[in-house]
Structure 1
Amino acid sequence: MIKAVVLDIEGTVCPISFVKDVLYPYALKKAIYVVKTVEFPPVPSKGELEAHLAEFPEVYCRSPNALLEHMSYLTARDIKAPYLKSLQGYLWREGYDSGEIKVSLFLDAAHAISRWSKSLEQYGSPAGVYIYSSGSVSAQKLLFAHTSQGDLNHHLSGYFDTLNAGPKTESESYRKIAEAIGLPGSEITFFSDNPKEIEAAEASGWSTFYTVREGNAPTPASFKPLGQVTSDFSGIDF
């Protein structure tokens, strides 16, 4: 019996293009401006921005150019370093608040989040819908607060990222999440478009839904998911 649904974001509940074509470029463009407003090396005690910048490895905190070049390098290769994700979340907040950034979730995913959160209420806490993304928890909350379908955070029971759970391709991260939620892995299901994440979740005893969306990377021929494969959440209920 499934009592908790854990959702990936990029390529699962929203298009990959939103992250790579909207969020990433916005953060890079914004960073070029904001790094000029602080002294280098950044001192964490001087403000929130400085605290985020100071999380970068010391070698990249010696000058604005060094930090921007490293940020561009990580972004271009989609390297999900926690310190990069932390800074991106900070930069995206202004874009969300100003209305420059608006999230278009897959409609079936938005409806499913609402539907599942209500149906899982019958089991009481800690049953519910959770998010697990490489983006920081604060960035996750911002994203779901600014969707075209409105603020969906009230439908979500919790959030996990690489800082409070660990890398998404390691099975230990899923065991840690199950412990944090307070349910056995057999009562948790995970939706993701990433084969390695699906395999890691399955190795920890979770059931899975490998999610295939338009614009996602092709499925490797060697990947054989143990769970279900879906491209639409409309007919899935718990």
Structure 2
Amino acid sequence: MSWIVLDIEGTTSSTESVHVGLYSYARSRLGPWIDAHRDDPEVAQAVKETGGATTEETVAILHGWMDGDVKATPLKTLQGQIWAAGFANGELTAHFFPDVAPALRAWHAQGRHLAVFSSGAVSSQRPWFRHSADGDLSVLIEHHFDTVNAGPKRESASYERIAAALGTDDLLFLSDVPAELDAAAAAGWQAIGLRRPGEPSERADFGAHRVVTSFEEIG
């Protein structure tokens, strides 16, 4: 397997650390961040795409998306900026399951290439791996993909785009979401499901996919 592509939420890291930790951190900071960075083209574009006429209206729309777990690009852009700042100033530290860092380092040492495909924006993926309690894991990750540069995670075409970008069909995808594994397999990838104790997909039906509870089980 020349490339191992990782999902984050529920696979390398707990869902709670993202939905409770990161989401709560960003929620109260959206309005102040927008007001303080109106000259930033990315912020201006994100605000425009929400359709809100005022900061208050924009924040209300963003909060609605957060409450509904909507993977909207404007929200991901703003959250990503806020999280990056939080990691940089030491207010945030990324959570990883205990087996993840040793496995990533071992795979890297074996010559395997590592990439990430997450619904979270690339701008938030990089600091997540850089600021872990296990040290800087970002140096192990060669490519980052999200729903903007690859496409929806439950569509096989997204995995075909990633394969084309990486220049290989020797690919393994690790995820806790059966529908994502189905899409990867339909694109010709190998796919392994993660059944993490206490996570939302702990009792999910993974069908014919191989399932593990830890990266330690993956050779």
Regarding TM over 0.5, the answer is yes
Instruction: Give the aligned partner of residue 24 of structure 1.
Output: 23
Mapping for residues 1-238 of structure 1, pairs under 5 Å: 2-37=1-36, 46-48=39-41, 51-58=42-49, 60-119=51-110, 121=111, 128-184=113-169, 187-218=170-201, 223-237=205-219
Deviations 1:75-123, CA, capped at 9 Å, x for gaps: 111111122111111011111011110112011011111111111x2xx
Amino acid corresponding to residue 47 of structure 1 in structure 2:
D
Q: Give the TM-score taking structure 1 as reference length.
A: 0.86
Q: Is the 8 A contact 2:3 2:113 kept in 1?
A: yes
- Structure 2 residue runs of 5 or longer lacking an equivalent are none
Aligned residues: 219
Deviations 1:35-78, CA, capped at 9 Å, x for gaps: 3436xxx5xxx225xx2242245563311111111111111111
Q: Helix, strand or coil for the counterpart of 1:6?
A: strand
Q: Is the 8 A contact 2:50 2:62 kept in 1?
A: no
Q: Give the TM-score taking structure 2 as reference length.
A: 0.93
Q: Helix, strand or coil for the counterpart of 1:107?
A: coil
Identity value in percent:
33
Measured on the aligned residues, the alpha-carbon RMSD in Å equals 1.8
Q: Is the 8 A contact 2:6 2:115 kept in 1?
A: yes
* Separation (CA, whole Å) in 2 of partners of 1:58 and 1:172: 25
Task: Report the structure number with the largest CA radius of gyration.
Answer: 1
* Separation (CA, whole Å) in 2 of partners of 1:143 and 1:201: 24
Q: Is the 8 A contact 1:17 1:215 kept in 2?
A: no
TM-superposed CA distance for 1:167, in Å, is 0.6
